[in-house]
Every structure is written in structure tokens, then in C-alpha cells.
Amino acid sequence: MNRLTVKNLLGIKQLTEQDINLIFKTADNFIKIINKPIKKVPTLRDITIANLFFENSTRTKLSFELAEKRLSSDIINFSSSTSSLQKGESLIDTVNNIIAMKVDMVVIRHPNAGASDFIAKNVNSVVINAGDGSHEHPTQALLDAYSIRNKLGLVENKNILIVGDVLHSRVALSNIFCLQKLGATVKVCGPSTLIPRHIHTLGVEHIADLKDGLEWCDVVNILRIQLERQNVKYIPTLREYSMYYGVNREILNSINKKIVIMHPGPINRGIEVSSDVVDSKQSIVLDQVENGVAIRMAVLYLLASKIQK
């Protein structure tokens, strides 16, 4: 099979294991492409892509934009802070106006869960979810799993621990779906106020103690405390959080193995992870960024063939 089973990338939940492996295989080719002297290929030169960012983003937006440019597509960018949304326009009106400009693909980030599903149901363009509220962030999960595969050779049968604010994290949910589909075991770690109450229904166990979790895992994916999504207090203070759940050199030295350190960014150094750990050889944080461009190129390439011209 060399085609994805889906027309849009709305979440990892809708993908099959074969889809994920096809994206990885295609990304392997793009890694080679983006390491050539000339990094651009003309593949998508007659495709127009709109990047609609209704929520702030640096990394994902730049990564998508670079991936689109490397594939020679035309792009238009939209960010809500400078748009007519401020004048009261609805989401579907904004999107329809952009689609009317003959846009083939839409990359959308939105603070509300389900926004990309809503757009996909109402327009004909191919839709890629670049993060919807606390729901899913599929390309991040793909690049995380891809980075694990490249580092450890295989995702199957590996133990992956997600530490931190799982409750508000779309990265955590997409990661859980993706890693489980590839045969890994996922557990979460953090204060119980930041762990979704019914997380066990996803087949995910909660480990309360960070050291127990680190001793169990091969890879730890550290999440940021999302203060902007918290309107009630889930933790007493950041300092206390950092003392109990901050990953630092001391706790890593106290366990008997070398585990791989990941972080989807943005990193709050000194809170969820210490500076020396982020910059250590165990950390693959910057590999994640490079892999992100290749994974997004692969997703764009594979989905562009679904465009109805």
C-alpha cells in the first residue's frame, strides 16, 4: 500500500499502523532531500497551501512553512491576531473566504478541540490539523515516534513515559495513540490533578513517582506546564512542581540506565527539565525539530495526492 487511508490528517486516532509506517518511510526519503546541497524539490509546485493559525505557534508554524517551501508549494499565512476575526467574523466564514482563493490544502491550528474536524466537514480542501485545543496534534506525535524509531531502531515493545501536564496536552493524547499503534507501552507521570481521570481507559497507567517512572521507561517525553490553559490552580507552585516532577541530572544519575530525553517544546528550562539535561547527549530535542520538517513534508506529499482538481 502506498497511499494513506485518510483524506485529511485530523488526528492519529484515524490512522492505521500502515499509514504511520508509510509516513515514516516517506520521511526517510525527505531526510535525504533536506540534507542535500539544494534542499528543494519541485513536487508540489502547482499546489497552494493556507496556514491558518488561530493560536500562537513558533515551531510548528515554521516547520510547516519550511516543509511547504521545500516542496515548492505556494503558501499563504494567516494568524488570528492580525485578522478580521477581531472584527467578529466566524470561523467558517474566514475559512471559506480563504478557500475561495483556490487553496488546495489547509493547515489549521485552533484553540478549540474539533476545529479541524469542523473545517474538514465543511470544505473540499485537504485539511491538516496542526493542533486543536487539548485534543490532538498529529504531526507532533508522528515526529516524536519517528525520532524514537530513529534513535532506538524500533518503537515496538519500548516503554515510553510522558511526564507533566497530560490533562491540557494535545501532544500527550496524540503520542499515546501513535505509540500504542506502533506497539509501544505508554505510561504517564505527574501530579494527579494534571492527569485525566479516565486515562486508564486508553490503556495507560499513571505512575505518581517520577523516579519509579524513569526506572521503568526507555524514553521520557517531558511536557510543559501549560499555564495559559489553566484557569484554576492545579499545582500549588511551579517550584513545588519542579521539585517533584522536574527531570534533572541528579534523578537521572540515581537510576541505572541511560534513557532518551524528549521534549516537544517550548521548553521552560529549570521547571519541567533542567538545562544540563536538555543539552546532554541523552537529549534528542533538536533531532525532533529536524525530523519535524521531514515528517511534515511526508504528510503534505502523501495527502497532496488526495486533492480533487
Partner 1 sequence: MSNEKQIVDNREFSIMINRLSHQLIENHLDFTETVLVGLQPRGVDFARKILNNLVEISGNNNIVLGSLDISFFRDDFGRRETIISPDKLDMNFSIENKRVVLIDDVLFTGRSIRAALDALTSFGRPKEVELMVLIDRRLKRHLPIQPDYVGKSVDSISSERVIVKWGNDGHNKIILLKK
Query: 75, 99, 289, 307: which one contacts partner 1 (CB under 8 A)?
Result: 307
Query: 6, 33, 34, 251: which one contacts partner 1 (CB under 8 A)?
Result: 33
CA dihedral (285, 219, 194, 209) positive or negative: negative
Pure H helices in the chain: 17-33, 59-70, 91-99, 115-122, 138-152, 170-181, 210-216, 238-245, 249-253, 275-278, 285-304
We find the least distance from the C-beta atom of residue 75 to partner 1, in angstroms, to be 17
Site for partner 1 in 187-246 (CB under 8 A): none
Residue among 267 and 307 whose Cβ is closer to partner 1: 307
* 100 interacts with partner 1 by CB under 8 A: no
* 101 interacts with partner 1 by CB under 8 A: no
Site for partner 1 in 42-71 (CB under 8 A): 42-44, 46-47, 71
**Residue 73 to residue 212: CA distance in whole angstroms:** 47
**DSSP state for residue 69 in the 8-state scheme:** H
We find the least distance from the C-beta atom of residue 18 to partner 1, in angstroms, to be 13
Residue among 44 and 284 whose Cβ is closer to partner 1: 44
**Residue 195 to residue 211: CA distance in whole angstroms:** 17
* 278 interacts with partner 1 by CB under 8 A: no
* Cell numbers describing residue 40: 528543494
We find the least distance from the C-beta atom of residue 150 to partner 1, in angstroms, to be 16
Give rounded-to-5 percent helix, strand, coil for the chain: 45, 15, 40
Which residues sit at the interface with partner 1, rule CB under 8 A? 2-3, 26, 29, 32-33, 36-38, 40-44, 46-47, 71, 301-302, 304-305, 307, 309
